[in-house]
């Protein structure tokens, strides 16, 4: 937030990660004040909050009907009012811990934006931009970030349902770049952009405003996705000052070596991290660490562990692993739970890997712990998972009995049904056995078994 402040950011939508610690913490990040658990990181220098405004048009309190943050923001540009509607994806409640968003609903993106159009127009606003934390994907030429080839995913359906009065969509979530002009319901072209992740692309949108109509001249407006190359940029003094302020706190714990790897341990896809729908060494490593950490804490011992692919955020390179590396790899501080599951429930949870139609990612491949294997058959059609079959489940080479009960370790995100893994959430919370914090399990695992080898990716037999 401090970096975005010195970059003079004006306005932003919320995304699912703004809710990682819940609505109350998001409001603290907006307004300022010390963290309720960690306190002030710098004595005498409390956190001042965000200078820019977060927008949360579709995050609604169940009791009051009020939004968590303002639904829109209006900027006057050369005597023309421009309205910005900001919101996160409707499925945010499946992507974050349930405890922090209790009492809040995440509503349909297109319906929310469309309902605000008359309200904005009543204030004289005709130029309208939607800032949306939801997106899609395309199939551009290699290395091309300023294209729109075969755009697909949730952004397309949301776009098609939006009121033609909305002139621009700035999107995200999928970490994929595209620059499109899609025809709205009235047949007029509308700019739809996404700018990748980690600052690798900057989207520049040039809108021509008509002072007579107060609207966007779409025929004269354009957008460009600029690729950012590290060797062509100069460090900014203001950003460097923010980094220098926080670096000592990071160094104090982040540079501590906790172990080592014998080779790179990567997420799925090429490049690593690009595909959450395949078995990965990184996901299996986390599952192994969590099974090891909880097998001695559950009364009868945990027997199987699963890990959601979105909870693994980087790769571990060959050589020494610091605490900073481990925390970047697994940064969410989730609690581990060992829960009793029948074989039938385990099978159902694995079938939940096939995501609901219209999801940003059709299939989310769980990391699986050593000793557990199964056969998997899926059908992906036009970016949707249309069928999934899980069979031949075995533990230590012994078939899983659908009626028997097994100790299964997952993090609190999965236990609450995150990422649409609803089967885990059907287990009575009173039966959960606390296994500690996930990052502690990983750190202890490296301390016990270094150098750690990349786990094999043959625990799931893809048919």
Task: Give per-residue pLDDT as tens, 161-187.
Answer: 999 999 999 999 988 899 999 999 999
Confidence of residue 239 (pLDDT cuts 50, 70, 90): very high
pLDDT (0 to 100) of residue 27: 98
Whether the predicted pLDDT of 49 surpasses 80: yes
Q: What is the DSSP letter of 448?
A: H
Exposed e or buried b per residue across 161-172, where buried means at least 16 C-beta atoms within 10 angstroms of its C-beta: ebbebbbbbbbb
Q: Which residues, at least 6 apart from 408, have a Cβ–Cβ distance to it below 8 Å?
A: 302, 303, 304, 305, 306, 338, 339, 340, 341, 346
Q: With contact defined as beta carbons under 8 Å apart, do 360 and 134 qualify? A: yes
Quote the percentage of the chain above a pLDDT of 90: 84
Q: What is the DSSP letter of 212?
A: T
Q: Which residues, at least 6 apart from 9, have a Cβ–Cβ distance to it below 8 Å?
A: 51, 52
Closest C-alpha to 314, from 138, 442, 146? 442
DSSP string of 122-157? TTT--EEEEEEE---B--PSTT--S--SS-BSHHHH
Per-chain mean pLDDT for the chain? 95
What number is the average pLDDT over the span 316-344? 95
Whether this model's pTM surpasses 0.75:
yes
Distances (CA, A) of 53 to 2, 73, 74, 75: 13, 8, 11, 12
Q: Find the largest Cα–Cα distance for the chain.
A: 75
pLDDT tens profile 99-121? 899 999 999 999 999 999 999 99
């Amino acid at each position: 937030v401090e970096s975005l402040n010195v970059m003079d950011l004006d306005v932003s939508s919320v995304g699912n990660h703004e809710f990682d610690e819940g609505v109350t913490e998001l409001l603290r990040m907006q307004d300022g004040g010390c963290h309720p658990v960690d306190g002030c990181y710098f004595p005498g220098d409390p956190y001042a909050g965000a200078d820019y405004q977060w927008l949360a048009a579709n995050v609604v309190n169940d009791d009051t009907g009020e939004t968590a943050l303002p639904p829109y923001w209006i900027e006057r540009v050369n005597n023309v009012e421009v309205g910005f509607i900001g919101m996160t994806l409707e499925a945010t409640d499946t992507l974050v811990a349930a405890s922090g968003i209790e009492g809040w609903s995440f509503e349909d993106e297109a319906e929310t934006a469309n309902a605000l159009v008359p309200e904005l127009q009543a204030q004289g606003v005709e130029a309208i931009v939607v800032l949306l934390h939801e997106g899609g994907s395309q199939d551009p030429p290699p290395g091309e970030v300023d294209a729109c080839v075969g755009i697909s995913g949730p952004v397309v359906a949301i776009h098609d349902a939006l009121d033609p009065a909305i002139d621009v969509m700035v999107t995200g979530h999928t970490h994929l770049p595209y620059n499109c002009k899609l025809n709205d319901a009235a047949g007029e072209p509308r700019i739809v952009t996404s700018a990748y992740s980690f600052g690798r692309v900057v989207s520049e949108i040039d809108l021509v405003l008509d002072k007579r109509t107060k609207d966007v001249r779409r025929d004269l407006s354009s957008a460009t996705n600029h690729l950012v190359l590290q060797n062509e940029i100069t460090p900014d003094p203001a950003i460097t000052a923010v980094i220098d302020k926080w670096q000592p706190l990071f160094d104090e714990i982040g540079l501590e070596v906790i172990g080592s790897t014998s080779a790179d341990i990567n997420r799925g896809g090429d490049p690593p991290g690009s595909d959450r729908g395949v078995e990965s060494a990184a996901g299996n490593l986390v599952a192994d660490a969590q099974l090891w950490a909880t097998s001695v804490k559950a009364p009868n011992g945990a027997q199987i562990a699963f890990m959601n692919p979105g909870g693994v955020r980087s790769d571990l390179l060959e050589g020494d692993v610091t605490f900073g590396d481990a925390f970047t790899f697994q940064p969410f501080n989730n609690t581990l739970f060992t829960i009793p599951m029948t074989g039938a429930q385990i099978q159902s949870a694995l079938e939940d890997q096939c995501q609901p139609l219209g999801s940003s990612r059709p299939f989310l491949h769980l990391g699986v712990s050593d000793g557990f294997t199964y056969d998997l058959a899926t059908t992906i059609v036009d970016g949707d998972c249309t069928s999934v079959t899980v069979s031949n489940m075995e533990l230590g080479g012994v078939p899983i009995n659908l009626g028997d009960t097994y100790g299964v370790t997952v993090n609190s995100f999965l236990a609450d049904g995150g990422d649409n893994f609803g089967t885990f959430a059907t287990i009575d919370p009173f039966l959960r056995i606390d296994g500690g914090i996930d990052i502690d399990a990983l750190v202890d695992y490296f301390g016990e078994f270094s150098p750690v080898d990349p786990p094999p990716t043959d625990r799931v037999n893809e048919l």
